[in-house]
Chains A and B, each alone.
Chain A
């Protein structure tokens, strides 16, 4: 089973600033990596897939990058609605596995 590790666990950033979230895989997942956003009491929402392709309706301030074992989600100019928990998911191998999440909080 591929283990996904996210860092940091919590990230404190001021509105308007940039946030950089990291995700590492225990073995290569090629570009088979998705990012999700989850707000309290809500279901997750797909942000990006294929490591860097934004999902339908996702603002351009969200960008994904990376391949192999190292991936990054960057949110430029944070808006109030962006403060949430973010998860990465690999889908290169069964079983699908998620990272433990990064909580993005207001500084």
Chain B
């Protein structure tokens, strides 16, 4: 059974940093692209960032315009873990952050067949 468990959320002041992690199990993590998707309180879904499977050459990364230059996605395939380093946080970054699995194996399918339960990030002074 696929399991994705996010951690690292919490309360942070504007301008601060947080690092989210997503521990994966139940599938061959290194084979799949992964994404982060967020949901502000009472709002819809917003894709944040994606990384392809490393293939020994380092993952290719993509970002939404709203986080480009502030967030960094990475992965450690030896630990089956996805990360999101969030710097220069803003009030509008407040949301539940989900990690999501792309079903493609060594290629992009670009949709998400499994999701974690999310971790809440609150940016407030």
Contact = CB atoms under 8 A, between A and B. Distances in A.
Interface string B26-42: 00000000010100000
Give the interface size bracket for B toward A. Answer: 20 to 34
Contacts of A96: 35, 47, 50, 110
B113 A44 contact: no
Given A34-B112, A95-B64, 15 more contacts: A1-B65, A32-B110, A34-B111, A38-B45, A43-B115, A45-B115, A46-B114, A87-B44, A87-B45, A91-B111, A95-B65, A96-B47, A96-B50, A96-B110, A99-B44
Interface string B90-125: 000000001000000000011111111110000000
Contacts of B98: 43-44
8 contacts: A1-B65, A46-B112, A46-B114, A89-B45, A91-B111, A95-B47, A96-B35, A101-B45
Interface string A85-96: 001010100111
B46 interface: yes
Interface residues of A, number: 24
A interface secondary structure, majority: loop
B120 to A, nearest CB: 12
Closest 6 CB pairs of A and B: A91-B110, A43-B115, A34-B111, A96-B47, A98-B45, A101-B44
